[in-house]
Structure 1
Amino acid sequence: MNQPTETADSTSTPRAEPLLSVSELTKHFPIRRGLLQRQVGAVQAVDSLTFDVAKGETLSLVGESGCGKTTTGRMLTRLIEPTGGTILFEGRDITHLSTGKMRPLRKDVQMIFQDPYGSLNPRHTVGTIVGAPYRLQNVKTEHGTKRAVQDLLELVGLNPEHYNRYPHEFSGGQRQRIGIARSLALRPKLIVADEPVSALDVSIQAQVINLLEDLQNEFGLTYVVIAHDLSVVRHMSDRVAVMYLGKIVELADRDELYARPMHPYTTALLSAVPIPDTNRRAKRERIRLEGDVPSPINPPPACRFHTRCWKAQEICSTQEPPLAALAPGHQVACHFPENVTPAAASAAAASAAPATSAPTATTTTTTTTS
């Protein structure tokens, strides 16, 4: 189980009351074959995730493609049904609520989709798209739906006169702003943003990120941001959860994670972030991971990263490391973490105590200097 545990010398960082609490969240997609469509396996997209999101906080989920980020976001918004675990929103269990019971909660939980081209109906005008939440939830506004939609368009940096235009008349950045306006219509408390800027030009990305931050400050929004661009994540996150093959391998405050990554996978991801300064780039060690990401249909036993990790030893393939707090507010799932204090290193070694024999190196270093 990938459940967080506390070490003896760690202390919890005081945080606000959680708006969203996730415990052992799991999603396995069945694989069916044959005439009778019998299940012959399952894609283990997400496996035993546990985390909290405080009110007004931005938590980012990062990792390689296929690690389960989008699946997690869709479970949080109940667009897909979890296989196991619990999702608590403001203390209420929403894990298996029916469509009818979820409808009132749609006012509080919204999603910004990754594709600004595919998420807008090309047959509807902007006014119809952004005004849909008001009609679906039967919400009456003081000056009518049209005025409310025009106010939203102005809020996200569009012209109120765009009300009668169609999506194909807008650029990618403008379409994403339309999607953001739609998600804000009912003044939600939680917004799950799935790669909100990945499909946009770099110059437009900064505008949308700044817009999201301004809206958060103005309305007290809570964000769960799904992203793979670590530069974007660093700019807009309060905390970062690093996922690998359906599991969280590291969870920490943004500054702590970027300054002192402890999991080898996080270290490898950060080493790939582009650095404009040529002098700094020349001094940085570039870590290149060998091999492909294993299949989620049959993930490696114990630590799922051990097949690509340059620090892997025998215990990594036989015993799964728990997601343990090795520093205040910094949780890591690794038998041999990096950048840790001697006390934390001793605690990590203690977690490996059940091994019957001393671990021996099985994987060589794959680091090269760029």
Structure 2
Amino acid sequence: MSETILSVQGLEKHFPVTKGLFKSQVGAVKAVDGISFDVRKGETLGLVGESGCGKTTTGRLITRLIEPTGGKITFEGHDITHMKQGKLRPLRRDMQMIFQDPYSSLNPRHTVGAIVGAPFRIQGIETEQGTKKAVQDILELVGLNPEHYNRYPHEFSGGQRQRIGIARTLALKPKLIIADEPVSALDVSIQAQVVNLLEDLQNELDLTYVVIAHDLSVVRHISDRVAVMYLGKIVEVGERASLYSSPMHPYTNALLSAVPIPDPKQREGRERIRLTGDVPSPLNPPPACRFHTRCWKAQEICKTQEPPLAELAPGHAVACHFPENAPSTTETPATVA
């Protein structure tokens, strides 16, 4: 078992909703509402779910780009939940983020050299052969020409811009990278190239990833473990092979049934699960199990009692009163902290 590099316990982020001249709070959007998971060193954890389930907010909380409402974030033994920016800055060298949009995440007024070299300047790091040589080496590492140093972002394609963003992320040789939808804005052919690049970099630089995505095919290709989110909660987490072959939560089954299958013969024998109704508002989520308003297996207990995230198989936990594909056992399942 690899050591844990990141531990999240009961993490919450509630955005206040105000009204009136005096901005009195009338409610809160529960974007992330008490999630817990660990990330082991050297692995890739995939975080999946529908749009609006809180994936991106989770990534920004982990990197402390936004302040948590509650819970605890531990990175390499350091509690960074409410750490002040002065103390947090040195730790940011080891914890970086790849943003979703390769167009808006790069300053159009800065050259590639200035963009990728910014982390060296901000952290006050000097290299033996100078910043320019270090930046050119990083550009070559991500598949770009070192001669692109003096060019501007508008001169590159979407895939090349994302490579520039990855180069900026790698500048300080981080240990943990949060990749927020790193390929969703790219063409399918370019997506494969960027995913393969991320895998090669992980093997070469011993990186740890948390990949946030809604494309289950991409997550299956790149992840070691997968966590499924729904309306601010983690409803299932497990090893990739176990989760894709034997999904236990009804919501996970519905997501996997929507993944396109190119082979017509395999597609014929698969049942498509169509969820009824809209995703409830995080401003007023359903009580107990949040999925019960759209679940075909829901019973009275689902409306009154929230199911704990319990381990029903080795390394495979689910939050459901009536899980599917669960191994038959007489033992009481262990609740995941």
Match of 1:117 in 2: 103
Matched, 1:305 2:265: no
Q: State the Cα distance separating 1:342 from its structure 2 match.
A: 1.7
Q: Distance between the aligned counterparts of 1:150 and 1:342, measured in 2?
A: 56
In structure 1, C-alpha distance between the alignment counterparts of 2:177 and 2:328, rounded to whole Å: 39
Deviations 1:130-180 (A, max 9, x none): 000000000011100000000000000000000000000000000000000
Alignment partner of 2:275: what SS? coil
Residue 339 of structure 1 aligns with which residue?
325
Q: Hey, what does 1:26 align to over in structure 2?
A: 12
Q: Deviation at 1:347?
A: 4.1
Selected match of 1:235 from 221, 224, 249: 221
Gaps of 5+ in 2: none
> Which position in structure 2 is the counterpart of 1:318?
304
Aligned with 1:295 (options 246, 256, 281): 281
Aligned pair partner of 1:218 in 204, 208, 230: 204
CA–CA separation in structure 2 for the residues paired with 1:25 and 1:223: 19
SS of equivalent residue, structure 2 residue 235: strand
Please state if 1:284 is matched with 2:270: yes
Aligned to 1:166: 152
Residues 63-92 of structure 1 show CA distances to partners (whole Å, capped at 9, x for unaligned) of 000000000000000000000000000111
Indicate the residue corresponding to 1:246 in structure 2: 232
Query: How far, CA to CA, are the matches of 1:338 and 1:347 in structure 2?
Result: 17
- Cα distance between partner residues in 1 of 2:186 and 2:332: 44
Matched AA of 1:42 = A
Q: Please give the alpha-carbon distance, in whole angstroms, between the structure 1 residues aligned to 2:32 and 2:131.
A: 39
Q: CA deviation at 1:340?
A: 1.1
Q: Give the equivalent residue in structure 2 for 1:38.
A: 24
* Alpha-carbon distance between aligned partners in 1 of 2:257 and 2:140, rounded to the nearest angstrom: 40
Q: Which runs of 5+ in 1 are unaligned?
A: 1-14, 352-370
1:328 aligns with 2:314: yes
- The answer to whether 1:262 aligns with 2:254 is no
- Equivalent position SS for 1:261: coil
Once the two structures are superposed, the pairs formed by residues 350-369 of structure 1 within 5 Å of their partners are none
So what's the TM-score if we normalise by structure 2?
0.98
What amino acid sits opposite 2:250 in the alignment? P
AA partner of residue 109 (structure 1):
M
Q: CA RMSD in A?
A: 1.2
Partner AA of 1:104 in structure 2:
P
Q: Distance in 1 between matches of 2:332 and 2:284?
A: 30
Aligned partners of 1:104 and 1:32: how far apart in 2?
Answer: 35
- Once residues 102 and 220 of structure 1 are traced to their aligned partners in structure 2, the CA distance between those partners, rounded to angstroms, is 22
How many angstroms apart in 2 are the aligned matches of 1:86 and 1:342? Answer: 34
Q: Distance in 1 between matches of 2:152 and 2:179?
A: 23
Residue 247 of structure 1, CA deviation: 0.2
Deviation of 1:102 (Å): 1.0
Matched, 1:153 2:139: yes
Cα distance per residue 1:82-128 (max 9 Å; x no partner): 00000000111000011111111110000000000000000000000
Normalising by the residue count of structure 1, what TM-score does the alignment of the two structures yield? 0.89
Distance (Å, rounded) in 2 between the aligned partners of 1:35 and 1:98? 32
3-state SS in 1 of match to 2:272: strand
* Deviations 1:169-195 (CA, angstroms, capped at 9, x unpaired): 000000000000000000001000000
What residue is the counterpart of 1:12 in the other structure?
Answer: none
Read off the aligned partner of 1:327 and give its amino acid letter.
A
The letter of the residue matching 1:155 is L
Distance 1:233 1:224 in 2: 10
Q: Which residue of the partner structure matches residue 175 of structure 1?
A: 161
2:125 pairs with 1:139 = yes
Q: Which amino acid aligns with 1:185?
A: A
Letter in 2 for 1:133: P
Tell me the alpha carbon deviations over residues 302-350 of structure 1, each in whole angstroms, 9 at most, x when there is no partner: 0000000000001000000000000000000000000012217x747x9
